[in-house]
Structure 1
Amino acid sequence: MRLRAYRFCVAFAIAALVFPFSLELLAARTIPPLFVLAPGGNSIKPVDSGWREVSDWLVGRKYAVLTFDDGPYGHGVDEHIIGILRKHHAHAVFFLVCSHITDSTEPVLDELKENGDLIGNHSFDHLKLTYLQEADLQHEIDGCSQLLAKLSGRRPYYFRPPFGMTSPLVTQSVHAAGMKQMLWNANSEDSWMTKPEQILYWSLEETDNHSILLLHDKPATAAVLDQVLTQLEQRGFQFVLPDHPPFK
């Protein structure tokens, strides 16, 4: 009986020493799992779960996708956002509006590629696509993809409809253009809020594990982005990209 009690005490002491060290090892893992869009396209899900899901839970690790709509903005705003992402070793999906691409903003596409970010399609003219006929949809969706492929050398893999307004016909046109439709389930509210502290509050309030966070390529967002990423990282978040064709 005494021998059993002794063995139990020894085992408990070893576990008490090893368990914190094991958690440190788990927390030190930096390579995130592979994610794909969840059904509905407004969040992500891991391709493989199992032990990794348990280890993430033990150390409080979470994952989110950062997305920026309506770029390129110009005037150094895009470059500022890319610089903040680089500081945090983060990548994002930039949904570009093709009519916003000019001689002065076209170099932004090369910077996004260099930083390892994804260039997404946000339509040619940022119209409400649900009101358009099929021919006009083709221009707004596939026409923008063709231009982005010409300028960047990569055809977009993800599409986001302006205002999040979609329909069966829009979805069909997106798939016909070889893309997947990505929406969101976390909103920074920066499309209409202009104070950085408001954008910070809603970004933190809305973002949960496996969220897709909606942000916009604009000065107010750029001004508070470093705080947003810092505080999300303090809450255990890593920023990931969903599955996509390999970069060339």
Structure 2
Amino acid sequence: MAKLILFLLFICKLALSADTVYDIRGASPLLDANMTQFLDKWRFDTITPVQSGVYPNVIVNGDPARTNIALTFDDAPDENNTAHLLDILKSRHIKAAFFMIGTTMEESNATVVKRADEEGHLVLNHTFTHPHLSNLDENNITDQLDRAATRIEEITGHYPILYRPPYGSINPLVVQTVNVHGLTTVLWSLDSLDWTLKDPDAVVENVTAHIRNGDIILMHRNHVSVAALPAVIDRLSKMGYTFLRLDELLGIKAYR
């Protein structure tokens, strides 16, 4: 009997390989019916072609067999909330990934961009003006990504090859275009919902209730994330999860 149990555990571990693509999760009773319906449709429409291989080189999560997870923050930088997030991460000795928007990387915000890089976080591409990429043609998609990456390189010295589409907006043309240019699309498997939930406690509850091995956690540069982040980190750590930087979680290069 013991041998049978061990064999079944081995089979389950094989099934949960690094190639397993999660669904995209995150829920709260505070969401209204319209928002829930909107999220459910977007998640299904996005994850189905990823899971089926129609969208190659689109990453949703890390290895489900390991208790490693990664924190990612969209829409940076600013000198206020981004700086507070960096303070919290520094105090907890955790490295994260910041997907930054090119137009917000003005001279007044360059300091916090440099700080994120110097403190060992990833500074990654979130396009130049934060458009829906699925509404653009190939030339404009390329321009959005290259201008943002070039700006990041000017400030940090690194040209990022990992990017996240604003709003998670992708289609076959977007995927094909970024793959031709040697970039990798990084989505997320767990949405903190900090962008719609105004209650930090609800964000903490959502993340800790839905966490799984290998999760890429989506958070944002806003005051709700700042308020929720300490409890998110502390509770997930007590649950036995280890925070890795995104490139370490995925085992891939972040920069060219």
Q: Please, what is the CA RMSD of the aligned residues?
A: 2.3
Q: How does 1:155-234 map to 2 (within 5 A)?
A: 155-234=159-238
Work out whether residues 41 and 183 of structure 1, in 8 Å CA contact, stay in contact via their aligned partners in 2.
yes
User: Unaligned 5+ residue runs, structure 1?
Assistant: 1-34, 47-52, 57-61
| Deviations 1:184-214 (CA, angstroms, capped at 9, x unpaired) | 1101001111111111111212221100000
Give, as a single letter, the amino acid of the residue that structure 1 aligns with 2:195. Answer: S
How far residue 246 of structure 1 moved from its aligned partner, in angstroms, is 8.1
What is the rounded CA distance, in whole Å, between the counterparts of 2:198 and 2:234 in structure 1? Answer: 20
Work out whether residues 161 and 255 of structure 2, in 8 Å CA contact, stay in contact via their aligned partners in 1.
no
How far residue 172 of structure 1 moved from its aligned partner, in angstroms, is 2.4
Matched, 1:148 2:152: yes
What is the rounded CA distance, in whole Å, between the counterparts of 1:158 and 1:203 in structure 2? Answer: 24
Matched, 1:85 2:89: yes
Residue in structure 2 matched with residue 68 of structure 1 by the alignment: 73
TM-score, normalised via structure 2 length: 0.72
How far residue 37 of structure 1 moved from its aligned partner, in angstroms, is 9.9
What is the rounded CA distance, in whole Å, between the counterparts of 2:19 and 2:109 in structure 1? Answer: 30
| Deviations 1:2-28 (CA, angstroms, capped at 9, x unpaired) | xxxxxxxxxxxxxxxxxxxxxxxxxxx
Residue in structure 2 matched with residue 16 of structure 1 by the alignment: none
User: Unaligned 5+ residue runs, structure 2?
Assistant: 1-17, 22-56
What is the rounded CA distance, in whole Å, between the counterparts of 2:58 and 2:179 in structure 1? Answer: 14
Q: How does 1:119-130 map to 2 (within 5 A)?
A: 119-130=123-134
1:104 is paired with a residue of what secondary structure? helix
What is the rounded CA distance, in whole Å, between the counterparts of 1:228 and 1:82 in structure 2? Answer: 15
Work out whether residues 67 and 213 of structure 1, in 8 Å CA contact, stay in contact via their aligned partners in 2.
yes
Give, as a single letter, the amino acid of the residue that structure 2 aligns with 1:66. Answer: L
How far residue 178 of structure 1 moved from its aligned partner, in angstroms, is 2.9
How far residue 44 of structure 1 moved from its aligned partner, in angstroms, is 0.8
Give, as a single letter, the amino acid of the residue that structure 2 aligns with 1:86. Answer: K
Residue in structure 2 matched with residue 4 of structure 1 by the alignment: none
What is the rounded CA distance, in whole Å, between the counterparts of 1:209 and 1:77 in structure 2? Answer: 28
How far residue 247 of structure 1 moved from its aligned partner, in angstroms, is 8.2
| Deviations 1:159-191 (CA, angstroms, capped at 9, x unpaired) | 100111112221222223332110011010011
Q: How does 1:28-67 map to 2 (within 5 A)?
A: 40-45=58-63, 62-67=67-72
How far residue 118 of structure 1 moved from its aligned partner, in angstroms, is 0.6
What is the rounded CA distance, in whole Å, between the counterparts of 2:228 and 2:218 in structure 1? Answer: 14
Aligned length: 200
